[in-house]
Amino acid sequence: RKEVEQDPGPFNVPEGATVAFNCTYSNSASQSFFWYRQDCRKEPKLLMSVYSSGNEDGRFTAQLNRASQYISLLIRDSKLSDSATYLCVVYPITSGTYKYIFGTGTRLKVLA
């Protein structure tokens, strides 16, 4: 089983739609969780951290479910500019490791 798994997509959605991505992780000792966004031929950039109680940033909502070991990202009112690859990132703080583990990414295309 991969350490971090995501549906690669692509998710093709119309503008204005709501879309949700899930990501599962295998290491229950994982402590920190993030969603990164990567545009074509660019570097990944932090979209949002994911907190235990869930958090929201504008149209974006992130949730963490430790019991089932998954995190989710919800995008409301999709914009054309949301088209990108969304990377789930897990950081297991164990044994002094500093290993941010990336999922393969979920590709989103928002269509006009």
Report the nearest approach of other proteins to the CB of residue 79 (Å): 22
CB of 16 to other proteins, least distance (A): 27
Distance CA 88, CA 32 (A): 11
Q: Which is nearer to other proteins, 38 or 69 (CB)?
A: 38
Cβ atoms of 110 and 18 within 8 Å: the answer is no
Q: Would you tell me which residues interact with other proteins (CB under 8 A)?
A: 32, 34, 36, 38, 42-46, 49, 85, 87, 89, 91, 93, 96-102, 104-105
Sole residue written with tokens 């940033």: 57
Q: How far is the CB of 77 from other proteins (least distance, A)?
A: 26
Q: How many CA atoms lie within 13 A of 52 on its CB side?
A: 4
